[in-house]
Structure 1
Amino acid sequence: MTGDMQNRDTPTTMAAAFEHRNWPSDGLEQMDRCPVCGSEERKTLYRGLTDRVFRSAPGRWDLHQCGSCRSAYLDPRPTAGTISLAYQSYYTHEEGAAAVEELSALRRWRRALGNGYRNWKYGTRYRPASPIGVLAPVLTPGFPAKVAQSMYFLPQPESGQRLLDVGCGNGAFLRRAASAGWQVAGVDPDPKAVEVVCQAGLEVRQGGIEAFDDAGEAFDVITMSHIIEHVHDPAGLLQRAHALLKPGGILYIETPNIEAYGHQRFRESWRGLEVPRHLVLFNWDSLNHLLQLSGFSGVTPFTRSNASIYLGLASQSRAIQSNSRSDSHSKPTWVDKLQAVGLGVPGIWDTRKTEFVTLHAYKRCYERNTKK
């Protein structure tokens, strides 16, 4: 064995290294009450959890479940001033899809077919595009649902309608929405991600949703894809979103469901836990209740039917179980495929067990903010 191989870090030694680092003691805060409903009643789900997704965040973490609303939350948890330690290997500024010239002939044809459907359905101008894309619902029955999911189930905009993406990352969704005709803006705390969005010529601010506090009722749609579980004050986030929406505006949210079948199956190895970045994990009822308290009226639920979503969750959770990196790109096994079916199917007959809580919430048409 060469010296170079002897010094190379293995997954086991890397895991040991990060698990033995402590979070700064002055960077923790106690949570005496549920951050969703305020109840003091709770039970402990897990003790001593570590970052088994990116293997970069220090510390061991205890996850508790509220006895009232059944949301789950960390206690203690990182303070707002130190939470950045958990994001040193995060993926907000990764590259997007492969260029057309890098694709095989079959994949180029599939992309052209998909672009043809998107252009027909959403008014985009993607290239290459095939005119037979309008037949995608017949040729590939699951494809329209996949596209709808990628557009966050939004309708085509009317002229001049504005959209704000909170936690926009590298701007992938902003670019899709802009292509469909939305006037877009984004906000993200990651300076590298903000730089990528700026280079694309899109409006973006660095920080959280409070960076747009000066905007008033400026937006027809606000989107938050896998954001609310990361914030210290989810109620404050929703209240700010409500204030920024025009009357009749739409709020899109997707977040992991603590009552998902995947959590029941994989327990502490479930991909959705992702400590300590996920500070709070909702279920359908608790998020609906918090939305009502924040001023929103009706809620429209959605179910993700994309098989690749469940395949990814199954393979990542299995990797966590086996002490491998869950963000690796290893080829899914037949076990992953079987487990993916097991994750997706229960949500068909029991919507409380879907992997994600995915919904639209609405600001009442007759509401206007009265705060000066």
Structure 2
Amino acid sequence: MPNSVSAVTHSAATLHSPAPDACTLCGSQRLSLYHQDSRRIYWVCETCSLVQVPKPFWLSAAAEKKEYDQHDNRPDDPGYRRFLSRTLNPVRERVAPPASGLDFGCGPGPALARMFEEAGYDMALYDLFYYPDESVLTREYDFITATEVLEHLHDPAAWLQRLWQCLKPGGVLAVQTKRVVSQAHFAGWHYTRDPTHVIFFSIATLQWLSRRWQAPVRLTHPDVALFEKPHKQQMGDK
């Protein structure tokens, strides 16, 4: 991924923030300035390619929840269901019911979980603000879904590893998040305008995770990636 400082847009020279001490995903201290707009500064990790917003620009928990409370993601909305089918369908192709699943970051209206339940799956829910029962994170699942949630994580390393540990060998972790394409695209990207979006994945980042977990990753849609946990898991460091 390109990370030339010369390509940064200095539209708000009054914004100042030092580079993060370390990448929130891989822990590398090799970060370069990636972009700057009128509200925030973005850094890119030279190891895993994650683009990240420094902590001074994160919302408080109360402000973050206020943003989420404005979302209108109703489980019976046909358009929303079509959107979530990007994750539903490839998971169903690989994991047959009855199987157990966890909808991580399900929000106040867990539409995807309902869609899986309608198809015969047993679903558990977790959401930091709406379904904060951490007992569900002590069990193992045949599959885990995380739709439009990764971009909100303040500590992606801890959360992703926790989810990976909750996944049974042979299971599937399905993530749905829009991907960084290039610096030029990033400069006008609507995805950065949501103040709760603080990290941004690219294909290179997903490939880094694949190597870290020594697990195949399948890009089933421009927004969706499926990680398949090996039956004999070996942990890698890179």
1:273 Cα offset (Å) = 1.1
What is the CA-CA distance between 1:237 and the residue it aligns to?
A: 1.6
Corresponding position: 1:41 with 2:31: yes
CA distance, structure 1, for counterparts of residue 174 and residue 77 of structure 2: 27
Q: Which residue does 2:21 correspond to in 1? A: 32
1:86 aligns with 2:64: yes
The yes-or-no answer on 1:95 pairing with 2:14 is no
Q: Does the 8 Å contact 1:296/1:361 carry over to 2?
A: no
**77 and 83 in structure 1: CA distance in 2 versus 1, 3 angstrom threshold:** farther
Matching residue's letter, 1:300: R
Normalising by structure 2, we get a TM-score of 0.75
1:84 is displaced (CA, Å) by 3.4
Q: Distance in 2 between matches of 1:256 and 1:94?
A: 17
Identity %: 21
Counterpart residue number, 2:209: 290
Per-residue displacement from partner, 1:321-371 (whole Å, max 9, x unpaired)?
A: xxxxxxxxxxxxxxxxxxxxxxxxxxxxxxxxx4x3x211011113499xx
In structure 2, the gaps of 5 or more residues are: 1-16
Classify 1:148/1:279 alpha carbon distance in 2 versus 1 (closer, same or farther; 3 Å): closer
Return the match for 2:170 from 236, 243, 248. 248
Q: 1:96 to 1:158 in 2, by over 3 A?
A: closer
**Which amino acid in structure 2 is aligned with residue 75 of structure 1?**
P
Whether the 8 Å contact between 1:29 and 1:76 is mirrored in structure 2 is no
Give 1:300 deviation, angstroms.
1.2
Q: What is the SS of the residue equivalent to 2:86?
A: helix
CA RMSD, aligned part only? 3.2
Change (3 A) 1:147 1:173: closer
Shift of 1:221: 0.3
Counterpart residue type for residue 86 of structure 2: Q
What is aligned with 1:20? none
Residue type of the alignment partner of 2:103: D
Tell me which protein shows more helix as a share of its residues: 1
- Correspondent of 2:218 among 295, 300, 322: 300
CA contact (8 A) 2:97 2:119 kept: no
CA distance in 1 between partners of 2:123 and 2:54 (Å): 36
Q: CA deviation at 1:40?
A: 2.5
The one-character-per-residue Cα deviations of 1:265-319 (angstroms, maximum 9, x if unpaired) are 4x444111134311111111112212432x351111112xxxxxxxxxxxxxxxx
- Equivalent residue letter for 1:89: E
Please give the secondary structure, in 1, of the residue aligned with 2:173.
Answer: strand
TM-score when scaled to structure 1? Answer: 0.50
Given the superposition, is the C-alpha separation of residues 290 and 158 from structure 1 closer, same or farther in structure 2, using an over 3 Å criterion? closer
For structure 1, the 5+ residue unaligned runs are 1-27, 50-60, 100-110, 112-142, 192-204, 304-353
Matches within 5 A, 1:318-337: none
Q: How does 1:116-127 map to 2 (within 5 A)?
A: none
> Aligned match of 2:138 in 214, 217, 222?
214
> Once the two structures are superposed, what CA deviation does each residue of 1:106-147 show, in whole Å capped at 9, x if it has no partner?
xxxxx9xxxxxxxxxxxxxxxxxxxxxxxxxxxxxxx9xx88
Label 1:150 to 1:222 Cα distance change in 2 as closer, same or farther (>3 A): closer
